[in-house]
Copies of this chain bind each other. A is one copy, B any other.
Amino acid sequence: MSLRAVKPPHETRTRILDAAEELFMQHGFEGTSMRTLTSRAGVNLAAVNYHFGSKDALIEALFRRRLDPMNAARIAELDRLEADARGRVPDAESVIRAFIVPSLRLMDDAKGGGRNFIRLLGRSYTEPNKPTRQLIGQLYAKVVERYKRALQRALPDMPVEELVWRMHFMFGTLSYTLAATDTVQLIAGAKPEDRHDERLLEERLAAFLAAGLNAPVKQTVKKAA
């Protein structure tokens, strides 16, 4: 067992990942060069290729570092919710809260760089093609399946097609809320943000999403499905 594990376990790796999170968020993947990145991280230019192999591999490592714990937290929240219910079926709003809380918690972690990541994540949803997109989908697959089942139990009368779309809308609301920074200011005029109040944002999101998911299914849609 090496002492390295206590002193600088992967110091260089971590510094690179932190700098990458910030710069990728600000300028995108292609807009951030290895030279800017390594310079900001205070490491040698070759360090990224030495520790990660390539820029693309760095991106993958960056997503895994945050997404794995966040998705584990989502599963854990749902586990706890269903355990507490003792046979009763958790309602849609509780399930929604279990889903959004881990990302809000990450967003509130400004110091730790979580906020940078969560915005970067929101951006990446809409980046097409790229293996990045595929990786995220793969990392999310299990979580999505679990929550889909939970919501089906909470809304037993809703056609599956409709539920799938409403989950899609929910992901959209969440990722956009986390990623887009200034739209609220655009709408509000120049109001100061209260986005930083995690608890308040959770209330707003939960109310909006729960109402949306619970909305009555129109007859025209029912017929088409």
* A residues in contact (CB < 8 Å) with B: 25-28, 30-31, 119, 122-123, 125-129, 133, 137, 140-141, 144, 148, 160-162, 164-169, 171-177, 179-184, 186-188, 191, 194, 197, 200, 203-205, 207-218, 220-221, 224
Contacts and interface: CB of A to CB of B under 8 A. Distances in A.
A166 B205 CA distance: 8
A184 B123 CA distance: 17
- Give the number of copies in the complex: 2
B165 A184 contact: yes
8 contacts: A28-B127, A119-B128, A125-B179, A144-B186, A167-B187, A168-B183, A200-B224, A203-B221
Main secondary structure of the interface of A (DSSP, over half): helix
B123 A127 contact: yes
Contacts of A179: 125-126
B141 A186 contact: yes
A198 to B, nearest CB: 12
Given A125-B180, A169-B177, A188 B211 contact: no
Given A140-B186, A164-B187, A129 B26 contact: yes
Contact of A177 (B172, B180, B217): B172
A214 B208 CA distance: 8
A140 B187 CA distance: 10
